[in-house]
Chains A and B, each alone.
Chain A
Amino acid sequence: MRAHAGGGTGTGCSRGGGVRPLTARTGAARSRRRPSGPAGAGWPAMGSLFRSETMCLAQLFLQSGTAYECLSALGEKGLVQFRDLNQNVSSFQRKFVGEVKRCEELERILAYLVQEINRADIPLPEGETSPSAPPLKQVLEMQEQLQKLEVELREVTKNKEKLRKNLLELIEYTHMLRVTKTFVKRNVEFEPTYEEFPPLENDSLLDYSCMQRLGAKLGFVSGLINQGKVEAFEKMLWRACKGYTIVTYAELDEPLEDPETGEVIKWYVFLISFWGEQIGHKVKKICDCYHCHVYPYPNTAEERKGIQEGLNTRIQDLYTVLHKTEDYLRQVLCKAAESVYSHVIQVKKMKAIYHMLNMCSFDVTNKCLIAEVWCPEADLHDLRRALEQGSRESGATIPSFMNTIPTKETPPTLIRTNKFTEGFQNIVDAYGVGSYREVNPALFTIITFPFLFAVMFGDFGHGFVMFLFALLLVLNENHPRLNQSQEIMRMFFNGRYILLLMGLFSVYTGLIYNDCFSKSVNLFGSGWNVSAMFSSSHAPAERRKMVLWNDTIVRHSRVLQLDPSVPGVFQGPYPLGIDPIWNLATNRLTFLNSFKMKMSVILGIIHMTFGVILGIFNHLHFRKKFNIYLVSVPELLFMLCIFGYLVFMIVCKWLVYSAETSRVAPSILIEFINMFLFPASETNGLYSGQEHVQRLLLVVTALSVPVLFLGKPLFLLWLHNGRSCFGVSRSGYTLIRKDSEEEVSLLGSQDIEEGNNQMEDGCREMTCEEFNFGEILMTQVIHSIEYCLGCISNTASYLRLWALSLAHAQLSDVLWTMLVRVGLRVDTTYGVLLLLPVIALFAVLTIFILLIMEGLSAFLHAIRLHWVEFQNKFYVGAGTKFVPFSFRLLSSKFSDDVA
């Protein structure tokens, strides 16, 4: 049986379902706002996410003897960011360039060691704890030790290479002798004339003079040649010697190593017989050119045998020597491998310290280094302690100390995160690092991001799978394999807490949509009663008004309609979310579309309004109260009078019209359009006096636009021109003065008055110089146009919430009907067999299409809604990140960059 729910859009169900996420959302946002409320007003607690931390510029006076130790202590703690005081000094003219060079030399040696150790296949142990930077006294010792090691290693390796090369030559020679024997045998068979020539003596390698001495016209050159060069070699021989040579060659069966490159390649053995001395020279040169390995050619069998025997014994000897050398080398390397990790880390730290010292400037007496650092105010105490510790370690008589100095420069932004908030902060930082002390949207993103994602991904089956996956990652987050995973897995791992919340919220919205793998779940029993539609149960008087069912209707109509106005049919809203009966209804989509569309508009407007309100917090903090009255309030009015009213109308319609009156309910779209068009014909609106209220709202909207466009520029102009007028100028400058006071408050109390005056003068000059009415006007006009148009387009943009959630629901529905339903329809005997692959396929497609693909798309859209629609209402994001000098930021994996 199918049910068709009656006409009106605003029936009980939607009241239960539609309003719920709305309240939940505002509740959630508010509950996040509450703890940070007091923080926004005063100084934030340490680690607050609401604003970045207050920074101060500190000057460190480091006694030249203790500077190294102090920086080492600072680096371990990672408290401060150094400013480069020698920006116009090129890198090689800085103070500690010699030390940096020494570090580089050490790095070179260590790289060589690591390379050799890796080549010898010796495992490199990585220590768990990272050793601190070496004390200066040990550096020399370390350097000496490493240099000695390098020299020794180089010598042993060189010896080894030499031995290997020797061995290789001998092996090649034996091969050559073995192969050429066959040549000669063949030659002897066919050309016995060879025997007439007296044997050639070959005392030394490459001796060609023998032929000269003997006056013989026939000579031999034999050797090995690289496989690839054979053809060219033969051609060249032919051309150069004009055919006065005979070349015989054969391929060597086993490939040998090339002594120069270490590659294993195939070789050819060749034997060249030639006539004449001139040609002999040419042949020799050509052999050189092709890098042939030429060996003396024995002429008699006895000689050959003798040489071969001699070679064999020498090869044996060489093998033993080589073996011993290799053993020794291995020993040396094993010993080096033990300490190489700590050395690499130490040298890295040392180099980092000297780089930082290069950023410091010397004072006049050359006795102490002055460094300027940005330090979070909360960490000043730690900074002092670190300095003390550094001084103590080096045993200096005069301790290093620090001093905070006032500055007008914008400090870097530091927002401390933990493993939970880090992911959300990264989403915000990807858009832009927040300006110093401005409201940080990451705090709100923690809730709104998973929520908006879930609105688009509303399915509690899928949400639960995602939640389980994220939970798995979270529970095993200390597992080493996860920490070192690559690329995609790494991405999931870093966003595990985001995924966790996204899954959790999807379970929630899935419950609201009553969607689990596209099926509804009937937890509490539907609020609709079908039997009440039968005429028998009603009093005859009521029956006349209603369209009731009887047997003929039930038998003959394809679609039946449930009428909520019939008593007993609709027994009240479903307790949580959408009534499961809608899953059976043919007009389910119409109903859900209307609900989701309205919901997304409502959510969007609340989200954007919240953004504008956060802007007020920014203006309050930066003491620009006029911005609140001239920018934020008109913006709010503009938004609320048009779109806030739209939300009001939607909610009003839900509340005012019941199932009985639904047929006379006006269309919100028409009402909203009529608000701007003032039609002549009177329609009955949602409530009485609607026309007057709408007119009033329109007037407010129209008034807020010029204020938004001109208010701020005119006010600034008035401030600027009215310097001589008493009232205005005072209020204008107190604003600026308060602003600067905050930074100057660190000065001694007696200086404040003076400093303040100077500062005020400075500010006045600055405003005088920078005041450019045209520019301010242009900026404000552009901003206003963007805002007004943005209100409309951004509201429309939030409709993606509806579109994506619709797409997701439809896609999962399609997957269900195309796969599982087919599997379930087959009769029992085969069905069991079929169901297994069907369910496997269903699972795979669900994971890849619905969870990963759809999830990714919903994720991207949620990001966009935050970056564009939400953050452009208040977030400037023009700051620089605070990058502390910290050894932890040095990569601890040395094999990557050293080897």
Chain B
Amino acid sequence: MFEGAEFYFNVDHGYLEGLVRGCKASLLTQQDYINLVQCETLEDVKIHLQTTDYGNFLANQTNPLTVSKIDTEMRKKLCREFEYFRNHSLEPLSTFFTYMTCGYMIDNVILLMNGALQKKSVKEILVKCHPLGRFTEMEAVNIAETPSDLFNAVLVETPLAPFFQDCMSENTLDELNIELLRNKLYKSYLEAFYKFCKNHGDVTAEIMCPILEFEADRRAFIITLNSFGTELSKDDRETLYPTCGKLYPEGLRLLAQAEDFEQMKRVADHYGVYKPLFEAVGDGSGGKTLEDVFYEREVQMNVLAFNRQFHYGVFYAYTKLKEQEMRNIVWIAECISQRHRTKINSYIPIL
């Protein structure tokens, strides 16, 4: 891309950017959350959501209303919006959209493989798959025995194919290997996405790179945290870290050596961005979890993405914000339906 793409941006993508900004304005406000939290039953939640931009998206649901029904309908709505964006997009924005869906596709593939391992029927699992990551070949995933099998037979023609280069092995797919596969796929996916944004240049790179860097580092932290107490070796662990983040390379090396949460925290202390996040984490009993802290930071970055114009980051940010909103609504709905109101306020506010 050449400099000053602002001049041409609106020719191709102006309509969609306008649209996504309009959609962003429809995110629930703080007042909406306050009202939602006061709801007594799921019916109340439905009535309140009717007054927002969700409209009567639950109108055709027969009683009784459940959290999963709300969740599915919300996902469908997001999916409809996303499909609309995608169908009206031009290159390179459509490639950007493809990259966005890849993450969900990886999750779906892994979900299906886990399901196959536990001998669950494909139909049952398909319902749980994220609609954004759907693709035709997905259902045939369980015919594969090894990762290379999976690649050769099923995924060679999907956008996921390039991410397989690091994980072609003849290992059988047991639970650990699937998890490793997921992380390796995700690593190369993130790196590829990062490279794409970097090469695209302009405001897109300025906005998307920090977001993806953060995403990569978050994954590195989470992988480290999850690997404590498992048989995963430290070298193996290091191979899973995405290398496009701020932690690369020293931070990742240190992280690979970490043995407990305290050591991990000490690694984070070297970085101005992550130090306050780890300090915000509460201890066991109360306060926020590390995950919540990361989510908050992500929301913050995504909201800031809307301050710049002429870039693709708004689409990514919108999808992520919408997802966060859906997580919030589901959280609140769960709390209401299980009559477990003490923690109802620990949703992540979208500013």
A residues bordering B, Cβ < 8 Å?
A: 90-93, 97, 101, 104, 108, 111, 229, 232, 235-236, 239-240, 281-282, 285-286, 288-290
Query: In whole angstroms, how far apart are the Cα atoms of A282 and B141 in the complex?
Result: 10
Beta-carbon contact of A239 and B152 below 8 Å? yes
If A92-B43, A286-B143, A289-B137 are given as contacts, then 17 extra A-B residue pairs at C-beta distance below 8 Å, sorted by A number, are A90-B35, A91-B47, A92-B35, A92-B47, A93-B38, A93-B44, A101-B43, A104-B59, A232-B137, A235-B157, A236-B137, A239-B156, A240-B153, A282-B143, A285-B140, A288-B122, A289-B138
Query: In whole angstroms, how far apart are the Cα atoms of A91 and B45 in the complex?
Result: 10
Query: In whole angstroms, how far apart are the Cα atoms of A232 and B155 in the complex?
Result: 12
Beta-carbon contact of A240 and B143 below 8 Å? yes
A239 partner residues in chain B, CB cutoff 8 A: 152-153, 156
CB of B337 to closest CB in A, whole Å: 15
A104 partner residues in chain B, CB cutoff 8 A: 59
Beta-carbon contact of B140 and A286 below 8 Å? yes
B residues bordering A, Cβ < 8 Å?
A: 35, 38-39, 43-44, 47-48, 51, 59-60, 122, 136-140, 142-143, 152-154, 156-157
B122 partner residues in chain A, CB cutoff 8 A: 288
Beta-carbon contact of A240 and B59 below 8 Å? no
* A90-B38, A92-B39, A288-B122 as given contacts; A229 in contact with B47, CB under 8 Å: no
Query: In whole angstroms, how far apart are the Cα atoms of A93 and B41 in the complex?
Result: 11
Beta-carbon contact of A290 and B136 below 8 Å? yes
A236 partner residues in chain B, CB cutoff 8 A: 137, 140, 153-154
B138 partner residues in chain A, CB cutoff 8 A: 289
A91 partner residues in chain B, CB cutoff 8 A: 47-48, 51
- Sample (27) of A-B pairs whose CB atoms are under 8 Å apart: A90-B35, A90-B38, A91-B47, A91-B48, A91-B51, A92-B39, A92-B44, A101-B43, A101-B47, A104-B59, A108-B60, A111-B59, A229-B136, A232-B136, A232-B157, A236-B137, A236-B140, A239-B156, A240-B140, A281-B143, A285-B139, A285-B140, A285-B143, A286-B140, A288-B140, A289-B136, A290-B136
| Most chain A CB within a 10 A radius of its CB, from B39, B137, B152 | B137
CB of A279 to closest CB in B, whole Å: 10
Query: In whole angstroms, how far apart are the Cα atoms of A289 and B136 in the complex?
Result: 7
Beta-carbon contact of B154 and A92 below 8 Å? no
Query: In whole angstroms, how far apart are the Cα atoms of A93 and B122 in the complex?
Result: 43
Query: In whole angstroms, how far apart are the Cα atoms of A846 and B80 in the complex?
Result: 49
CB of B13 to closest CB in A, whole Å: 29
Query: In whole angstroms, how far apart are the Cα atoms of A282 and B144 in the complex?
Result: 9
Smallest CB gap from B41: residue in A: A92
Smallest CB gap from A284: residue in B: B143
Query: In whole angstroms, how far apart are the Cα atoms of A93 and B47 in the complex?
Result: 10
Query: In whole angstroms, how far apart are the Cα atoms of A90 and B152 in the complex?
Result: 56
B153 partner residues in chain A, CB cutoff 8 A: 236, 239-240
* A90-B48, A91-B48, A92-B48 as given contacts; A288 in contact with B139, CB under 8 Å: yes
Smallest CB gap from A228: residue in B: B136
A285 partner residues in chain B, CB cutoff 8 A: 139-140, 142-143
A235 partner residues in chain B, CB cutoff 8 A: 157
B51 partner residues in chain A, CB cutoff 8 A: 91
B136 partner residues in chain A, CB cutoff 8 A: 229, 232, 289-290
CB of B63 to closest CB in A, whole Å: 8
Query: In whole angstroms, how far apart are the Cα atoms of A288 and B136 in the complex?
Result: 11
Beta-carbon contact of A97 and B143 below 8 Å? no
CB of B48 to closest CB in A, whole Å: 6
Closest 7 CB pairs of A and B: A289-B140, A289-B139, A92-B44, A240-B153, A92-B47, A90-B35, A285-B143
B35 partner residues in chain A, CB cutoff 8 A: 90, 92
Beta-carbon contact of A97 and B47 below 8 Å? yes
Query: In whole angstroms, how far apart are the Cα atoms of A719 and B269 in the complex?
Result: 68
* A232-B136, A286-B140, A290-B136 as given contacts; A240 in contact with B154, CB under 8 Å: yes
B140 partner residues in chain A, CB cutoff 8 A: 236, 240, 285-286, 288-289
| Most chain B CB within a 10 A radius of its CB, from A92, A101, A232 | A92
A108 partner residues in chain B, CB cutoff 8 A: 59-60
Query: In whole angstroms, how far apart are the Cα atoms of A501 and B60 in the complex?
Result: 51
CB of A347 to closest CB in B, whole Å: 14
A229 partner residues in chain B, CB cutoff 8 A: 136
A97 partner residues in chain B, CB cutoff 8 A: 47
B43 partner residues in chain A, CB cutoff 8 A: 92, 101
Query: In whole angstroms, how far apart are the Cα atoms of A40 and B59 in the complex?
Result: 53
Smallest CB gap from A154: residue in B: B62
CB of B333 to closest CB in A, whole Å: 14
CB of A281 to closest CB in B, whole Å: 8
Query: In whole angstroms, how far apart are the Cα atoms of A232 and B157 in the complex?
Result: 9
Query: In whole angstroms, how far apart are the Cα atoms of A229 and B142 in the complex?
Result: 19
A90 partner residues in chain B, CB cutoff 8 A: 35, 38, 48
CB of B61 to closest CB in A, whole Å: 9
Smallest CB gap from B49: residue in A: A92
Query: In whole angstroms, how far apart are the Cα atoms of A229 and B38 in the complex?
Result: 49
Smallest CB gap from A285: residue in B: B143
B38 partner residues in chain A, CB cutoff 8 A: 90, 93
Query: In whole angstroms, how far apart are the Cα atoms of A239 and B155 in the complex?
Result: 11
Query: In whole angstroms, how far apart are the Cα atoms of A575 and B187 in the complex?
Result: 95
